[in-house]
Amino acid sequence: MEAERSVYRALCPRIAVLESEDVTHIAEGNGLRNLTELLRPFEAHTHNVAVRTSQLVSRTYTNFFVRFETPAAFFISSDGAEPGTLDNFLDQVQTRLRAHGQALSGTIPSLVHDHAMDADGRAEKEAYGRASQPWFSDIAEYLYRYRPMRSYDSFSHPQAVILAVSSSNPDPMNAFARLYQETSTGMFAEENVLRCYLVLHDTKKEGNDKQRSMALLQEVKKTYGLQCAMLALNSASAPDPAVQALFAQESNAADSRGAFPAAPDALAKFLSGNDKDQIQAYVRELVVKSMVPYMERSIQRLNEQVGHSRRGFTAKLFGAGRKLFSTRSADTAHSAHRYDVETHTYSPNTITSQTRRLADLAFYMQDFMLASEMYDATRRDAQVDHAVEYSAAAAEMVCITKLLEAAAAQVRPPPMDPLFYACCDEYLHTPSGHLYALRATFLYTSAQKMLSNELSVAHALIHAASFTDEVLRGAVLEQASFAYLCLPTPLERKSASTLLRSAGSYEACGQKTLSLRAYLSVLAFYRNRAWPAITDHVLYKLALQAHNAGHALDAISYLVQLLHGGSKWMAERDEEVVRELLNVYKYASEEAHGPYEISFQTPIWSVADAWIATMGGQMPRFFDLEAQIAAHKIRLGDNTHIAGIEETFTVHLTATNPLHTRLSISNVRLYFSGMQEAAASDETGDIALEAQETRRISIHARIALPGAYRLERITFRLGGTVLVMQSMQKRGPRLQCTKEQRITPAYAPDETLTVQVCEHVPRLAIDLCKLPEKAYAGQRLSLILGLSNPSPAPLSHLALAYAPNEMVLGVPEAQDGDSIQVPAALARPSVHSASVASLAPSSSETLTCALHTMEQGTLHLKWLFVYQNRRGEYFQSACEHILEVLPVLAATTKIRYTPPGYLVYLALENQSDEPIRIPSITCASELYAAIPQTLPCSDALQPGARFTTALRFAPLPHIQADVMLPHALHTLRPFLGMQPEALPARSICFTQTRVCSVSDAPQSGSLFQCPSLYARCRSAWRLRTLAHTYDFLPVSVRADTFSVLESNELDLLVAWVSPSQHGQLYLPGTRLGLRADTAQSFEALAALGKSSGANNMYEETTRERQAILAKLRRSPLFAYSMPLQLDVPTKHISHDFFTGPSVLAAPVTLQLANASPLWSLSYTLRLLPAGAIEKGVKLPVAPWLNATVLRGTIAPCSAIMQWM
């Protein structure tokens, strides 16, 4: 409805008002400049006017708008300049934008925090656009009302003229004659323009006696006709507030004619309510009784003239008449149009001018069909004559009339965008064409809004932004952005991008408030979208504007949001942003009257990786050891987070620089709950974080008062200036105990950042007594730990857990002999009782551990001690040490079966920097023993040198069967959901292992002579291997199922000596042949392999168990190779059949070997006859001379020879 009103008001009939000086004095007495301003408030007050179209169809105007103008608004000055040029118009626009910006400046603080526009609510956005952009309506109204008279735009010509003279004029008739003469200049659309005569009676000056005025009226009627009227004014004895409010409202409206000169309380102070009613009645009478009949007669007359001139072109302009008109020759058209190429005008009497005049009058009568045809005819005439101005003006009206016609008929209009863009392009080639093109855009978009064609509205406004000045471009683009939102499916991203361009235009023309408002709206949309570059650009613009406006706190709030480092677009600007932040912060502190805390959008300190470690507290690196302690039913409770008064505890933090520039952090302060001031802590100094750097930082803190505390926030200084605060709020683990907790997420309180400060807390101080930082693979280290009790309370029940697994507590005892017993079960990490059971206050003891380094790399040594106080509460203390294990020898093995034993080829390479001697090699196995020999390497191995030797191993005379497999499968079956099979009542606790030396000079005190240390090393290696091979089984299942040593495995120990060190390289797990499995083992494997797994009530569980069973079948557990091996020793035989016998009997030797260490094999060997075909291959022709079927038995680990 508003759009329709705008179009009709912009294209309403104009009425020129000419007045005598006495009439001007009457207007000036009411605070007005002239009679035109006296009539202005009543331009839109003529309602329900009946009109008749050319089709003799009556229509009723709801509002019949007119516009009263002074003669100066129509004519061009003598110097050729228009009274309102484009520069003047832009000045007016700038003034109005500045006024609206000042009106909005009070709401900007709320927009900064609320961002004014809901990024997800379309209705809210539309309301925001309509309610908060009054300046666009003001600009449009101002532009509509600026219409200087042009020959090609008959809308700019007056449709009527009012000649006004006061009855108090000394010579009123001569005054009317002078005014009439002024209207006879020939500047109007037609010579016989409608003239209306008005006699004013000044009641204030002449009283209520109207006889003289009525006599003057009668005389005017006799002289000039019946188009005469009289108005009695200034009858008020006191100002009427209602009348003054009417004039004040009109004065404040956007209008190219400007505001009234007087103040609101001086406006219309002599006009009464009756005077207002008389003026309104006069305007209605002027429209209904004068203008409408005059225009109806003019339409009838012009319709006849145009139809006759265009050869039967009737009012409807349908059928052959149009075709006849459109196909006439250019010469004939030129002579009929009489277009003056020098003045670039059509004479008012030409057919083109009359056609345009007819179109305008039809438009006033809302006869849109006739109007659109006439405008189109005018446009074609102008195109033939190359009259660009006339063509553009006609094309503008063709578009608008077609749209109004469709809106009135409620049908879809034809596509008008191409014609409208052509109209704008033609306007741009004319003087002041930018102004006319912009006005055409506003009218066209208003007409499109009547049809809800918001997409065409947006496109037209964006097209207008391409040729308008930056003063207008911001408002035009802002209106286009809201048009995108009014579509049935809002184009939100296009709307936001257009609004971003609008904000830039506002900024360029100095409209900071409007620019800030637009930027905030764009930020509200892009904040949660994946367009970080646009968001950063808007934030940076907002920060600069806020800083330039003196709002330092707002500028900082925007700059802080840019310090995230996630956008590549901001990578090169991070340094600039940090520099701006340091500069603005000085003013922010003054504005905030004290230190001003800010918070980064991307935190510097990782909350997830932060934790507090007390002397007996939990530490993430020791969680595995704490789990071992918990498995032994030792409840540490909350005592792990206890610290004594003024006892130092450590806050472990991880600082990450998210930016692409260097950051300097200093004055780090820790704030705990319940404390107003920061906790006492050691100074960290200046911490320089390079771009994208992550660093672990530990801060030692102390608290002087007992109580429960939690780390709540951290503050620090950025660049030594900016005070930054970061919250350290953290959730605990997810709770899954109850049904409600599983449905609705609930979390336990976090304990990693809590500390309980108590009195008389027992403590165990641990001192690592000069532990080495480097060692060589194969070295045995004796690690000494100093334990002391610095607290006033005694410690008891001291126990510990440690890692890695290849370490033992105490000094391992040596065991002589050729065999050792090691536990069959894997030695898993566990809790051990310390040799020191208790410690009195201020006492100290030492604790020794033995470690055999197995592999090169970084070895993380950890000890976790638990102890009790007098009340039985458990506490803990921990220590750790990083040991770098350096390589010495690189070893590889290859195996060859040579019945009855094996050859193991051992290749060694010196990877150290010193020469190395190999004095001895020792082995350990259940089934095989080494055959002593002298090592060929008598000299030292130089760095980088290689050495290879062949080691012979023979089976032991009495081999024990491996009975561990049935027990392993017995443990595995319940995990797969199957019933365990019955086993004989037997407990297997130890494995008997034979130890022997390959060299002649075995080394004393080897690893194999220390069963406890050997078992730990063997278990550690076995657990790592099982984790790689059987990763689909849980850790506990792997440890319970498999034994520490398989029967066919061979462990080697290579002793090495260098000038500075010595050690024993441990090489476990070389497999020789097959396992010594029993019949029971084969039956258990077969039963498990044929099983399909037990069904479960949950289908997913059944599928998981079947998948695990399938992986087990492909694992080494089920891999059992063929024990029988057949070999044909090659022997070269040469024979000359030409000189020697023609038949040769060649001997063939077959070697059959049994690789099983426990079972004898019975075999049957069948030799295929000559010429037989086996699997598609024809065998040789030579026949066998002896028996073709051979049978026999092969003892375990032996071989036989067959000759044929």
- pLDDT given for residue 124 in this prediction: 41
pLDDT, greater one: 1078 or 1093: 1078
Percent of the chain with pLDDT over 70: 85
**Whole-number Å distance between alpha carbons of 626 and 829:** 11
**Greater confidence, 282 or 156?**
282
* Residue 76 scores a pLDDT above 60: no
Alpha carbons 928 and 1050: distance in angstroms, whole number? 8
Average pLDDT for 64-84:
66
Q: What pLDDT was estimated at residue 1204?
A: 66
Residue 1140: strand, helix, or coil: coil
Q: Distance (Å, rounded) from C-alpha 670 to C-alpha 686?
A: 16
DSSP track, 341-402? TTTTEE-TTSHHHHHHHHHHHHHHTT-HHHHHHHHHHHHHHHHHTT-HHHHHHHHHHHHHHH
Q: Is the per-residue pLDDT at 1065 higher than 50?
A: yes
pLDDT at 279 over 60: yes
pLDDT at 637: 57
Over residues 947-963, the mean pLDDT reads: 81
The answer to whether 995 and 819 have CB atoms below 8 angstroms apart is yes
Contact call for residues 917 and 869 (beta carbons, < 8 A): no
Q: Three-state DSSP class for 1124?
A: strand
Look up residue 34 and give its two tokens. Answer: 């002239």
The two tokens of residue 804 are 């890695």
pLDDT at 100 over 80: no
* Most confident option among 134-148, 187-201, 967-981: 187-201
pLDDT of residue 617: 60
Q: Is the pLDDT of residue 973 over 80?
A: no
CA gap 236, 1116 in Å, rounded: 116
In sequence order, what are the residues at sequence separation of 6 or more whose Cβ sits closer than 8 angstroms to the Cβ of residue 1135? 1144
pLDDT tens for each residue of 8-29: 888 899 999 999 999 999 988 8
Say yes or no to pLDDT of 316 above 50.
no
**Domain annotation for the chain: domains and CATH numbers:** 7-84+146-291 (3.40.50), 611-758 (2.60.40), 765-1121 (no CATH), 1124-1203 (no CATH)
Report residue 200 CA to chain centroid gap. 72
pLDDT at position 77: 42
Number of neighbours of residue 654 by Cβ within 10 angstroms: 16
How sure is the predictor about 121, in pLDDT bands with cuts at 50, 70 and 90? Answer: very low
How many CB atoms are located within 10 Å of the residue 1038 CB? 20
Residue 1086: its pLDDT value, please?
76
Mean pLDDT of 753-768: 86
Please write the tens of the pLDDT for every residue from 718-746. 988 899 999 998 888 888 888 888 888 88
Separation of alpha carbons 574 and 580, rounded Å: 10
Complete DSSP assignment for 603-650: -SB-STT-EEE-TT---GGGHHHHHHHHHTT---GGGGGEEETT--EE
What lies within 8 Å, CB to CB, of 793 at 6+ separation is 760, 761, 762, 841, 869, 870
Nearest to 568 by CA among 695, 665, 692, 693: 692
Model-wide pTM > 0.85: no
Cis (ω within 30 of 0) for the bond into 1180?
A: no
Q: Which of 339-343, 409-413, 698-702 has the lowest mean pLDDT?
A: 339-343
More confident residue, 106 or 835: 835
CB atoms closer than 10 angstroms to residue 309: 14
**Residue 991: partners with Cβ closer than 8 Å, 6 or more residues away:** 821, 822, 823, 824, 926, 1043, 1044, 1045
% of residues, the chain, pLDDT over 90:
22
pLDDT interval class at 327 (50, 70, 90): very low
Q: Is the per-residue pLDDT at 987 higher than 50?
A: no
| pLDDT value at 519 more than 70 | yes
Q: Sorting pLDDT into bands at 50, 70 and 90, what band is 925?
A: confident
Q: Name the average pLDDT for the chain.
A: 81
- Gap between the Cα atoms of 237 and 225, Å rounded: 35
pLDDT digits (tens, 9 = 90+) for 544-596: 888 887 888 888 888 888 888 766 656 677 888 888 888 888 887 777 777 78
pLDDT score at 98: 61
Q: Is the pLDDT score of 206 beyond 70? A: yes
Q: How many CA atoms lie within 13 A of 265 on its CB side?
A: 0
Least confident range from 172-181, 638-647, 1032-1041: namely 638-647
pLDDT in tens, 446-479: 999 889 899 999 999 999 999 887 778 888 898 8
**What's the confidence (pLDDT) of residue 229?**
93
Sign, CA torsion 1081/1082/1085/1087: negative
Paired sense of beta strands 774-776 and 874-886, if any: parallel
What is residue 60's predicted lDDT score, i.e. its pLDDT?
A: 86
Residue 208 has pLDDT above 90, yes or no: no
| Average of per-residue pLDDT across 411-420 | 90
Helix (H, G, I), strand (E, B) or coil at 442: helix
Instruction: Please name the residues in contact with 15: beta carbons below 8 A apart, sequence gap of 6 or more.
Output: 66, 67, 68, 69, 158, 159, 160, 161, 162, 286, 291
| Gyration radius of the chain over CA positions | 53
Question: 96: pLDDT confidence band, cut at 50, 70 and 90?
Answer: low
468-510 residue pLDDT tens: 877 788 888 988 998 998 888 988 889 888 988 988 888 888 7
Q: Is 706 left (phi over 0), alpha (psi -120 to 50) or beta?
A: beta
Q: Which amino acid is it at 1005?
A: G
List the single range of 426-430, 603-607, 973-977, 1149-1153 with lowest mean pLDDT: 973-977
For residue 291 the two structure tokens come to 């203008």
